[in-house]
Structure 1
Amino acid sequence: MLGFNPIAPFGCGALSPAALRIQRDVRQCQPGKACHKWKTFRHACEAKAALALSDRALTVLNALLSFHPDTVLTLGSTDLVVFPSNRELSLRAHGIPASTLRRHIAALVKSGLIQRRDSPNGKRYARRAAGGDIELAFGFDLSPLVAAVDDLAELAARAVEERHVLDALREQVTLARRDIAKMLALGVERGVDADWPALHHEFLGLIDGRPRTPCRAALEPLAAALVELSGRILEILESHIEPTRPIREPSANASIATNPTPKAGAESAGNAFQPDIERDVASAVPVRLVAETCPDFVDYARHGLRTIRDVVDAAVIVRPLLGVSPSAWEEACAAMGQGPASVTLALILQRGNGIKNPGGYLRTLARRAAAGQFSIWPMLMALRGAQRGKDPAEMKTPAGPSFPDDSA
């Protein structure tokens, strides 16, 4: 009678087939099978996704293991049942409430890592012999954990391999995105003859289709498509690279004749640009906020986004990629100023395929700006709120209209 191990739960709970399966697996294992409890616990942590266990359920399992005095657990021994009170178990599980504790214990039982050994009255205790040894204990049996040690090790190895593959795919996607953005910017800046808006649209279509929670099945085709697109763009750029020519020393007369012209042109361009920048600085949003909200736009900045001039320079590269005509851009700059127009273009780029006609959309915003009915802040905060998963209406933004109809 003292050697009987109950498997039915206390109270009105029904006996589940999972409990019978766990009991069968334990009996089929050879007595004397041992495991290092902390190594096995680490394997369970690695395989938590396959076991459908949460972090807090693993915290409860860690607490249960800590009640066993030995580091090595041996199958067939009479001391594999731990019987802590709910209070002590809650304290070792970092203060988890009793209701939460019961839920996570049920998850551990369902996953097959532990098994209940309920007493006649549902309490947890041990019956000891005259010499002090435990004859029969009621609580949580750790035998299923020992029996599943090989399966847990295999699941952990698969999980580690899957994580390594996933990390490699993420790196490949990130590197391919960076190369494509930089090559598109170089092609537009150098005036290479190619259909850059179409390539950029294809690039945006791939990026917008990436999953919010990446998995291997979704990242593998995405990485392959980005690498293929990167190779096509690289071939276009390589075909337009001029052969290297030996550097010749210019004559003194040629130097005198050619030096003043670029200097005068640069000076005049600087004089033409400076008033617009000075006029826009007061109304422009912080450049750091633009960089945080529009990470795709940062890829086209040659030296990063540090000043409003960097934003304007990047917008010059992005404009033809979005298919915005020069006249629409000039209209936006005249109505908003170069700085706000560049920030608006960054926001349009970040929204990706959500805007069907970027040029017409920018014209609509320019007309609203000319009528005093447009502000960048609501548009910026709406996109920022969408990225954070919050309702844009809950965010504190300056008064003003938000996005107009995207069909423009």
Structure 2
Amino acid sequence: MNETLTTTPFGRRSLSLGMLAANMVARECPTEAVVHKWKIFNAICEAKAALGASDRALAVLNALLSFHPETVLTGEGDLIVFPSNVQLALRAHGMPPATLRRHLAVLVNCGLVIRRDSPNGKRYARKGQGGEIETAFGFDLTPLVARAQEIEQLADTARQERRALLLLRERVTLYRREIAKMIAVGLEEGVPGDWNGLHATYRGLVQRIPRLPTKSELEPVALELTFLMDEIRNALEFHLNSRNPGANESQFERHIQNSNPESLTESELAFEEAKGKVQSAREPQGPVYSMGPQRAATDAPPPLGAERRVTLREQDPTDQVVPMKGYPLGMVLDACPDIIDYAKGGIASWRDLIAAAELVRKILGISPSAWEDAQVAMGPEAAGVVIAAMLQKAATINSAGGYLRNLTEKARGGQFSIGPMLMALLRTKRRVGKVRA
């Protein structure tokens, strides 16, 4: 075959640097290179995105390969095919002529084939006296042999990315199932928390997933679903731990048992003690008497208005306030870590938290009456948690005293729970941590 064929296209088609680059690659193709044409075609199909080829262009390439009589393509063989547009369109499943020409141009621009145009633009072959082809004009398939190694690498990369995308889609599906069912059990079991807000966050993440996502589009969504799943699981685990505290001294300090079921509960005694401290400015307390039907005229009424039998017991000054049901101290400190700075020896118990809240409420400008009303309406532990939460978001509160009185009124009406407040602070903390990371 004549090796002095030019690569400039016929007619109005312009020459591009890509065409020159493809021609250079074809000239440097080693003569010993051997490629199975259908195997390289399958690799091109897998690497079509990296090569810039479309599905219809690959259909045209398949038709071009079918016109080459040999299954094996070699670097020293005659790799020019010269079918007419009519025959090529038939083997391309009846593709219209205009569409055929457009996709032939795509193959040329991708560097998969090279145009070897004749002087008049026709495709044909000229044979010698022995019947062998001396000169042919058409499409040169040599770039498939010259670029075989590159195409195989691109195909391998595409396979790895496709597998990574498949695994990522599976992971997102598992996360979605996990989150949806954990939110459902949280709502059904009445676990404290802002479950409606968590569900809204979950739906927002799901709506960000396109119908045919790519790996780059799915990775950030999968990361946020991971954080949301961990947050929901932690809330459920906190609830389980609070329901089964047992006698775990490392979690809840001392485990105080009371054999008298009709005596005041420890939380009521702690509340009375906290209330007495507020009224008497930390004056020494004497024996604490529980109230019964025959109480003295000077005795105060029982905490909840219930009539009890007369019992007498000394209040041990080392008694600890019992944990607040549903909200472990560790969870509170995780959501409101700033209050730890206001405790002299750290916060190891609910009593320490209440003492620190007493100091913080003065710093925030909350009056003693507002603080006492909050303890009466919420309980001393819950009031301490509210003060810790107010300190954590003090920058967004204009009037701390008015804010606390508003929450106190809601608590009296049974319309306030500290669960949503703690969960909101935990979400904010996680969000800030992700931004910093």
| TM-score, shorter chain, exceeding 0.5 | yes
SS class of match (1:197): helix
Residue 81 of structure 1 is matched in structure 2 by 80
Retained in 1: the 8 A contact 2:29–2:145? no
Q: How does 1:87-98 map to 2 (within 5 A)?
A: 87-98=86-97
Specify the code of the residue in structure 2 equivalent to 1:41.
F
Q: Is the Cα–Cα contact under 8 Å of residues 166 and 215 in structure 1 kept in the other structure? A: yes
CA distance in 2, matches of 1:36, 1:3: 24
The residue matched to 2:122 in structure 1 has which SS? coil
Q: Percent identity at matched positions?
A: 54
State the shift of 1:63 in Å: 0.4
Instruction: Give the root-mean-square deviation of aligned CA atoms.
Output: 1.8
Deviation at 1:83, TM superposition (A): 0.6
Tell me the distance in 2 between the aligned counterparts of 1:2 and 1:219: 53
Task: Verify the 8 A CA contact 1:3 1:135 in the aligned structure 2.
Answer: no
1:11-54 Cα deviation digits (max 9, x unpaired):
13222211111111112222221111111001110011111211
1:212: Cα distance to partner?
4.3
CA separation in 2, counterparts of 1:169 and 1:48? 22
Number of paired residues? Answer: 244
- Partner-residue secondary structure (3-state), 1:240: helix
* Segment drifting more, 139-148 vs 11-20: 11-20
- The residue type paired with residue 83 of structure 2 is P
- Secondary structure at the residue paired with 2:209? coil
Structure-2 separation of matches of 1:172 and 1:13? 49
Q: Distance in 2 between matches of 1:193 and 1:125?
A: 81
Q: What is the CA–CA distance in structure 1 between the aligned matches of 2:80 and 2:58, rounded to whole Å?
A: 18
Alignment-derived partner of residue 177 in structure 2: 178
Contact 1:32 1:74 (8 Å CA) reproduced: yes
Aligned to 2:65: 65
| Counterpart in the other structure of 2:129 | 130
- Which AA in structure 2 matches 1:230? M
In the other structure, the counterpart of 2:8 is 8
Query: Residue 197 of structure 2 corresponds to which residue in structure 1?
Result: 198
How big is the shift at 1:169?
Answer: 1.0
Structural mapping, 1:136-155, within 5 Å: 136-155=135-154
Assess if the C-alpha contact under 8 Å between 2:165 and 2:214 holds in 1. Answer: yes
Cα distance in 1 for partners of 2:61, 2:245 equals: 67
Residues 1:30 and 1:238: Cα distance change in structure 2 (over 3 Å): same
Q: Which amino acid aligns with 2:5?
A: N
How far residue 243 of structure 1 moved from its aligned partner, in angstroms, is 5.6
Measured against aligned partners, the alpha-carbon deviations of 1:276-320 in whole angstroms (never above 9, x if no partner) come to xxxxxxxxxxxxxxxxxxxxxxxxxxxxxxxxxxxxxxxxxxxxx
**Alpha-carbon separation, structure 1, partners of 2:214 and 2:12:** 41
Runs of 4+ in structure 1 deviating by more than 3 angstroms, as ranges, are: 241-245
1:228 paired to 2:222: no
Q: Which whole-Å deviations, capped at 9, do the CAs of 1:62-86 have from their partners, x for residues lacking one?
A: 0000111111101122x20001111
Tell me which residue corresponds to 2:268. Answer: none
Partner amino acid, structure 2, of 1:202? T
In structure 2, the residue matched to 1:238 is: 237
Query: How far 1:187 moved relative to its partner?
Result: 0.6
Q: What letter is aligned with 1:110? A: N
1:104 and 2:103 correspond: yes
- Counterpart AA for 2:38: W
Give the C-alpha shift of residue 191 in structure 1.
0.6
Q: Is the 8 A contact 1:64 1:89 kept in 2?
A: yes
In structure 2, distance between residues paired with 1:243 and 1:23: 76
Counterpart of 1:26? 26
**Counterparts of 2:112 and 2:184, CA distance in 1:** 55
CA deviations on 1:312-347 (whole Å, 9 max, x unpaired) are xxxxxxxxxxxxxxxxxxxxxxxxxxxxxxxxxxxx
**Deviation of residue 244 (structure 1)?**
13
Residue 200 (structure 1) shift: 1.5
Using the TM superposition, give the Cα deviation of residue 58 of structure 1 relative to its aligned residue in structure 2, in angstroms: 0.3
SS of alignment partner, residue 95 of structure 1: coil
Distance 1:52 1:74 in 2: 25
Aligned-partner Cα distance in 1 for 2:32–2:130: 24
CA shift, 1:233, in A, is 1.0
Displacement after TM superposition at 1:208 (Å): 2.5
| 1:131–1:198 distance in 2 versus 1, CA, 3 Å | same
| Structure richer in helix, relative to its length | 1
Unaligned runs of 5+ in 2: 247-437
Per-residue CA deviations over 1:223-270 (Å, capped at 9, x if unaligned) read: 11112211221122233335699xxxxxxxxxxxxxxxxxxxxxxxxx
2:118 aligned partner:
119
Q: Distance in 2 between matches of 1:150 and 1:125?
A: 30
The letter of the residue matching 1:136 is: T
* Aligned residue in 1 for 2:316: none
SS at match of 2:126: strand
CA distance in structure 2 between the aligned counterparts of 1:81 and 1:209, rounded to whole angstroms: 49
| Distance change >3 Å, CA 2–CA 162, structure 1 → 2 | closer
Which has more radius of gyration?
2
Q: What is the rounded CA distance, in whole Å, between the counterparts of 1:194 and 1:51 in structure 2?
A: 51
- Distance in structure 2 (CA, Å) of the matches to 1:144 and 1:76: 12
Structure 2 CA distance, aligned partners of 1:126 and 1:59?
Answer: 24
- Give the letter for the 1:143 counterpart: T
What whole-Å deviation, never above 9, does each CA across 1:343-381 have from its counterpart, x for those lacking one? xxxxxxxxxxxxxxxxxxxxxxxxxxxxxxxxxxxxxxx
Letter of the 2:98 counterpart: S
Quote the Cα distance in structure 2 between the aligned partners of 1:98 and 1:177: 48
The yes-or-no answer on 1:51 pairing with 2:51 is yes
Per-residue CA distance 1:119-147 (angstroms, 9 max, x = gap): 11111111111111111111100001111
Distance 1:194 1:2 in 2: 81
Q: CA contact under 8 A between 1:83 and 1:125: conserved in structure 2?
A: yes
Are the aligned partners of 2:37 and 2:71 in contact in 1 as well (CA < 8 Å)?
Answer: yes
Deviation at 1:204, TM superposition (A): 2.1
Q: Which amino acid aligns with 1:126?
A: A
Residue 98 (structure 1) shift: 0.6
Shift of residue 186, structure 1, vs aligned partner:
0.7
**Unmatched runs of 5 consecutive residues or more in structure 1:** 246-408
State the Cα deviation string for residues 67-118 of structure 1 (Å, max 9, x = none).
Answer: 11111101122x2000111111111100001100000000000000000011
Output the amino acid matched with 1:11. G
